[in-house]
Amino acid sequence: MRTVTTGRQWRPEEKKVLFYHPQDTDIDTKIKDVGLSEAIIKFSNTFTKDDSVQTMHTQKTCQFYYQPEPGYWMIMTLNVPFDRKTRDSGDYNEYHGDTIHDTIYQSVLRQAYRMFRMFHGTFLDNLQPNEELDAQANLIGKLEAFYQSYILHLQMKKCDVVDAFGSVQYLPLNQLLFLRVQNFINMIEATFAPIKHCIFLYSDQVVWSGINPTDLYTLYEYFHSPMFDHLAQSKQTRPAYVTEKGKIKRYTLMVCRKVQNISLCLLLDASAVENEQSLYLELNAVVNPQLTSISSDISQHLQSSGDSSYSFGCSGSGNKDDSATAPKFIFFNELNLQHRGTVRLGQAQYHSVTGSGLPNDVMNLIVDLLDDVRSNRSSVMDETIVKTHDDYWIVKRSCNSRHVFIILNKSSTLIDVTEETKKILDQHVKGIFF
């Protein structure tokens, strides 16, 4: 991964590199890569009016380009997977470039920027001198400190449709329980003036959020990363930059440790907090008894409801059929970046029963169907049915930025697939399409 600046003023090539991984790469290789990247960007711009280059595929590598801010480019290079084959003339490598999906890994690159911006602000904001370093050296130091840790925790082989969605799981509650959570949030925001926004999680699913869906996804990913575990051991707060009404505003992020299955995340007005430790202790004394009661009520409700709609999620649950041949579905709402379903995605698929996940080509096909919807926006409901060479059927139904993907793994007729689709829609997403 490289972060480079391509400003209009002439600069030595090595000075354009703000971050390069691996760090021990020799300077000649860095200069060559910067020159090649600039050449590709300028060449592509001769055919378009904007900086629209995103991906370049070669036999052995795939490069992803992203311009998060004017004058700054991030480039990520992935090695294409290959198998070692033998033929009469000798051994050779058979490369599988189609296993690397552009949309998925372009989303990974964009998320890498959003994660930095969430906790450090924009690149331009950090291009400021301090008492010891000039502006560029200060930015380089912050990029290295953040990305050296961030890249170590990236698990590229486990990226899937959730990365393309950029979505989180919400926990559906009945009206009384949801109102109780909402009243609790209103109470602590009214009681503690520095609290401006809250995020309420139960068993790692979102119940309430006071920030925009994109920033929520970034924080959600952070809470599930080793970076958060490391921070939680060292300190209780850190800066967080959230987008509000098109502008980035700085807050202080405070996470009250888990009370039973609940995590409460607070965004504080940094200028209104005089003593963070005192506020943290006071908050815990006030909220812990109420969180314990709320957690108990939610748990009892979910256990007694017997309604699968309260228990399914893409992380999997014990009452679902995890067999490879069981019908599966994924629901994705682009309006609030929510996903749910009966498919194990992300990290969960690697902790599941062998064979219960979806093949890589099926995952990629689902993203292809989503890309097709995004490129042909329409408020009219549409449906697409695809059959793969290994007897997977994928049914995609979309309307008003809501998408359902139904996956069937069996040899069936089109009539059987249509009937099974109707059954799943009536059972799990009834009323979504009208």
Q: Which residues contact 9 (CB under 8 A, 6 or more apart)?
A: none
Rounded to whole angstroms, the Cα distance separating 126 from 117 reads 10
Nearest Cα residue to 33 out of 6, 69, 68: 6
| Residue 138 DSSP one-character state | H
Contact between 351 and 317 (Cβ < 8 Å): no
Q: For position 355, what pLDDT does the model report? A: 43
Contact between 41 and 51 (Cβ < 8 Å): yes
Q: Are the folds of 168-305 and 328-429 the same?
A: yes
- Tell which CATH classification among 1.10.760, 1.20.1530, 3.30.450, 2.60.40 matches the domain 2-158: 3.30.450
Architecture of domain 168-305 in this structure: 2-Layer Sandwich (3.30)
Q: Where are the domains of the chain?
A: 2-158, 168-305, 328-429
In degrees and rounded to multiples of 5, residue 429 shows phi and psi of -130, 40
3-state secondary structure of 381: coil
Q: Edge-to-edge strand order for the sheet containing 262-268?
A: 205-209, 195-202, 262-268, 247-259, 237-244
In degrees and rounded to multiples of 5, residue 252 shows phi and psi of -110, 125
pLDDT in tens, 217-237: 999 999 888 777 665 555 678
- CA distances to 22, 281, 287 from 294, in Å: 47, 20, 10
Q: For position 232, what pLDDT does the model report? A: 57
Contact between 382 and 374 (Cβ < 8 Å): no
Rounded to whole angstroms, the Cα distance separating 115 from 108 reads 10
pLDDT in tens, 57-86: 999 999 999 999 998 999 999 999 999 998
Listing DSSP states for 82-136 in one string gives: EEEEEETTEEEEEE-GGGS-HHHHHHHHHHHHHHHHHHH--HHHH----SSS-HH
Q: Please state which CATH number belongs to domain 328-429.
A: 3.30.450
Rounded to whole angstroms, the Cα distance separating 294 from 307 reads 20
| Residue 158 DSSP one-character state | G
- CA distances to 116, 149, 174, 229, 323 from 142, in Å: 9, 11, 45, 20, 46
pLDDT in tens, 80-136: 999 999 888 889 899 998 889 999 999 999 999 999 999 999 999 999 998 888 999
| Residue 48 DSSP one-character state | S
Which one is predicted more confidently, 334 or 5? Answer: 334
